[in-house]
A and B are shown apart, each in its own frame.
Chain A
């Protein structure tokens, strides 16, 4: 009794390529589905209107930016659950500094970014130096950041009004809620694109990124090869905190408010974007470009489901299935 099953050489290579660009194919698939299923006016799909497409990119910006930070953390074999709360803390911080404390635009933004960086570095130190699991440290960090945001804001959203008077934020800050290039491209989308391109280049070509991959791939091997494992890990969490703070500033600028509950659950959306983007949760394998595609995929999905007036609860079901499908594809990926 014999069976005939030889793995085809050529086919395997094609399959490998498909999996390599999995998230992009997924994105294209969802885009096509979105166009097909879009409601339309005068024969033109609503989904494809410029306004709507940029709504999608703008809605991706915040999750996308924190997902980029998350990608670095996950590549190094860690996880950062604090990013959503950090976003809320940064949003509150921006609002309070600008409106109540009368800070100028640049000092306020720099201070908030520095706070995000410091918060991330502290978490990294706690995890890498004292050997506490990142999941625990950042879960605690989530609580701490939320608590700080509540205390700082007095438990309520801090509204941002614009003007030159006391209690008013510099008008320039309202740019974050505006659109540029003829009122079409939202400013947050531009920031997102810049961060994404910088991160893609950095991750592909920097020595630091090589160390990040090595730590995620085999931490012990990296350490024995002379990689400064602790330092790299700490910096990765710092980067994640910094990007979460940037997302928080954008959040405050877009919504004209910093509220302590902002960003609740964003960490899970970010992780979903990373996973759909093909980055292995166990670390060492993945890319920022995949994450960006993953984040866009989720946004397009959100957008088209809402345009089609699918009930919010059903939307959650569909998004859950997409994440499971993406993770399932990961398992099918041909290994070495």
Chain B
């Protein structure tokens, strides 16, 4: 049993310090020009990442770091929320305390991050939202790709180049109920519409390679006649490839994935090695975000509310070139 007063001094200290401190309010409703000090200014950019243990998000941070290196006025700080909404809110609040000049955020989820993004925006800090969105319009620019469109292109490619006379395929989906999984499915369905392509099996593999392998094992047992597999991301496509190899179907089945990360374990290398027939680059938007930041802070321009990123088809013909470009 210990002393009650233990906590009181601590609280008192906090309160006293709070009274001394000042809050820096600067309510210029998203006044992007207020942040602009031209080429002579020095700018600190905060990058709040949802979860760095996803390779795609790691690539996003790497792209931002690489691009920012070429802008001498920029200093970039990174924070990783480790898939925790509450931590990401705290990360952004800490950036505000540090008085960053611009926020780049890839939100873990929309609803929990909306308020703090709005808070930053209301303080006059330009906010660039990457990949996942926030609710409302209290941000400067959203940069991302269209999952529906990428799915449609994947379907179109499969129907035209791989199975021009129609055939039987399997679809491996990402995490059930997640938005990208739904969009990549709907887009794909649109792309193969009326092409005589029959999806004989649809399974969920939660975006994971090992799960893709397990599910594909079962699919190949039930439907050895399958001619192609559409996986909603590259790791699941690679898993399915391993399953096909184990079932003695390697070479007979073609695989199409999505994401095309320019890393050794990514889809581009898998295409180059011939394991996947094709993949579609789902761009991270990292370079584009730094370019936007430069135009806002240095050039005092007012960017468009939305910057939609195009995808790129990767086949064995262009894989090496795309890989090199991605790492420049």
Contacts and interface: CB of A to CB of B under 8 A. Distances in A.
Interface of A: 20-21, 23-24, 27-28, 31, 39, 41, 44, 46-57, 59, 62, 154-157, 159-160, 177, 183-184, 193, 196, 200-201, 203-204, 213, 251, 254-257, 259, 261-262, 264, 278, 286-287, 289-290, 292-293, 296, 302-303, 306-307, 309, 311-313
Which 9 pairs from chain A and chain B are nearest by CB? Answer: A255-B112, A50-B21, A159-B111, A50-B18, A287-B2, A312-B80, A289-B6, A257-B111, A49-B21
B237 interface: no
Contacts of A47: 97
Contacts of A53: 14, 17-18, 21
Contacts of B79: 306, 309, 312
Interface in B96-118: 96-99, 109-112, 114-115
B177 interface: yes
Nearest to A155: B177
B94 A184 contact: no
18 contacts: A21-B2, A31-B10, A39-B98, A49-B97, A50-B20, A55-B93, A56-B14, A155-B176, A184-B23, A196-B7, A254-B89, A255-B85, A255-B86, A259-B85, A286-B2, A287-B6, A306-B90, A307-B97
Chief secondary structure at chain B's binding surface: helix
B87 to A, nearest CB: 9
B7 A312 contact: no
A204 B1 contact: yes
B135 A289 contact: no
A20 B6 CA distance: 10
Contact of B1 (A287, A292, A307): A287
B3 interface: yes
A159 B85 CA distance: 13
Interface of B: 1-7, 9-11, 13-14, 17-24, 52, 77-80, 82-86, 89-91, 93-94, 96-99, 109-112, 114-115, 135, 176-178
A307 B97 CA distance: 8
A28 B82 CA distance: 28
A257 B112 contact: yes
A159 B135 contact: yes
Contacts of B82: 312
A55 B83 CA distance: 20
Given A55-B94, A255-B85, A306-B90, A157 B109 contact: yes
A19 B112 CA distance: 40
Given A184-B18, A306-B94, A312-B80, A41 B99 contact: yes
Nearest to B85: A255
B96 to A, nearest CB: 7
Contact of A48 (B1, B20, B89): B20
A251 B21 CA distance: 27
A48 B21 contact: yes
Contacts of A264: 84
Nearest to B82: A312
Given A57-B14, A293-B6, A251 B86 contact: yes
Contacts of B99: 41, 46
Contacts of B1: 203-204, 213, 287
B206 to A, nearest CB: 11
Contact of A24 (B9, B89, B93): B9
Contacts of A259: 85, 109, 112
B111 A256 contact: yes
Given A51-B96, A59-B86, 12 more contacts: A49-B22, A51-B93, A52-B94, A54-B18, A59-B90, A154-B177, A193-B11, A201-B4, A213-B1, A254-B89, A257-B111, A307-B98
A21 B98 contact: no
